[in-house]
Amino acid sequence: MSGTTDLNLLPLFVAVAETWSMSAAARNLGLPKSSVSRGVAALEESLGVQLFHRTTRKVALTTAGTAFYEKVRPHVAALRDITGGLPEQEAEPSGELRITSPVDMALTFLAPLAAEFSARYPAVQLDIRPTNQTVDLVGEGFDGALRVALKLSDSTLVARRISGLESAIYAAPTYLARRGPPRSASDVGAHDWVIHRHVKQLPPPLVAPERPRLVTDDLLFAHRAVREGMGLGLLPTFLARQDVTAGLLVRVLPTWGSKVGSLFFVHPRTEHVPRKVAAFRDFVLAFIAANPLMASGGE
């Protein structure tokens, strides 16, 4: 077993087991087939067992999958009965939903999430403000926000932790071809660096040069500068992952990473959470479970 099992993945597993199909389960859950497939794979990885035999047309439970299904099915069914009987669950979410998010989060995963959410809940009109400023949700009339922090302490807000976040060192292939990759943490100080101004110092044992090649206030600008070959950069793994897949960035010292906080969904504290807010919160949880923000080892 590679880590704590994400309970948000259990309804995905049960839906696939009961329909014998990733596609049918995705339709029933209102999610893309790719999200269901990735979610089941993540569950199998966390449990350390294969739950399904897969063919091009259908899936079938393995022996381990059958045993696991028998254990979790009653609990998932009971949860459906409890939540399905609530009055606010009977109506489809609707109305304007105003959300704020850090700019990098908005551009990387919130845009595709919003498209999927809108397709699932067409009666909800999304109003999303990408900003790196901390917005007064109540004062400015927002329903919720995605926020990155080590810890949240605002008692006027309800916070739900979505995911841990980590950073790693990246460089462009052109830079590495010119300078060569560092072989150890002690080597990185001799390299050119792109530094975000809010990063006062690199996590130990890394030592940045006294005069970086570039210092910037904007994380997306730093990301682009690293991709253009200006030097090494400490970037969030979720921001760099697609570029690594495309061959535009390389993870340097791939066994090293630094946890930099967590992603939270927050909303104003109220007696009854509006249906549209609860639906968005739960959708974010399911989306991140199927599309993890943290890397699982070297990229």
Answer CATH for 7-85 from 3.90.1150.170, 3.30.110.40, 2.40.128.20, 1.10.10.10: 1.10.10.10
pLDDT at 50 over 80: yes
Query: What pLDDT is attached to residue 3?
Result: 53
Q: Which has more confidence, 108 or 223?
A: 223
pLDDT at 237 over 80: yes
Query: What pLDDT is attached to residue 201?
Result: 65
59-75 as b/e: b if 16+ CB within 10 A: bebeeebeebbeeeeee
Query: How far, in Å, CA of 188 to CA of 121, rounded?
Result: 48
| Averaged pLDDT score across all residues of the chain | 84
Query: What pLDDT is attached to residue 298?
Result: 43
57-116 confidence digits (pLDDT tens): 678 888 888 888 888 888 877 776 665 555 444 468 888 999 999 998 898 889 999 999
Q: Estimate the crossing angle of helix 33-47 against helix 22-29, to 10 degrees.
A: 110
Query: How far, in Å, CA of 145 to CA of 159, rounded?
Result: 9
For range 280-295, the mean pLDDT: 84
Q: How confident is the model at residue 294 (pLDDT cuts 50, 70, 90)?
A: low
Q: Which stretch of DSSP H or E encloses residue 157?
A: strand 157-171
Query: What pLDDT is attached to residue 248?
Result: 97
Q: What are phi and psi of 58, to 5 degrees?
A: -155, 175
Q: Which has more confidence, 24 or 196?
A: 196
Answer CATH for 93-299 from 3.40.50.300, 1.20.1540.10, 3.40.50.720, 3.40.190.290: 3.40.190.290
The residue extents of the domains of the chain are 7-85, 93-299
Burial class (CB in 10 A: 0-12, 13-18, 19+), 274: middle
Query: What pLDDT is attached to residue 46?
Result: 84
Q: Which stretch of DSSP H or E encloses residue 143?
A: none
Query: What pLDDT is attached to residue 295?
Result: 57
Cβ within 8 Å of residue 235, ≥6 positions away: 167, 168, 169, 170, 219, 222, 223, 226
Q: How confident is the model at residue 117 (pLDDT cuts 50, 70, 90)?
A: very high
Q: Which has more confidence, 58 or 241?
A: 241
Q: How confident is the model at residue 204 (pLDDT cuts 50, 70, 90)?
A: confident
Lowest mean pLDDT among 30-34, 133-137, 211-215, 252-256: 30-34
| Topology agreement, domain 7-85 and domain 93-299 | no
pLDDT at 170 over 90: yes
For range 31-40, the mean pLDDT: 84
DSSP 214-282: EEES-HHHHHHHHHTTS-EEEEEHHHHHHHHHHTS-EEESTT--EEEEEEEEEEE--SS--HHHHHHHH
Query: What pLDDT is attached to residue 297?
Result: 44
Q: How confident is the model at residue 152 (pLDDT cuts 50, 70, 90)?
A: confident
pLDDT at 1 over 50: no
Q: How confident is the model at residue 249 (pLDDT cuts 50, 70, 90)?
A: very high
Query: What pLDDT is attached to residue 88?
Result: 47
Query: What pLDDT is attached to residue 72?
Result: 85
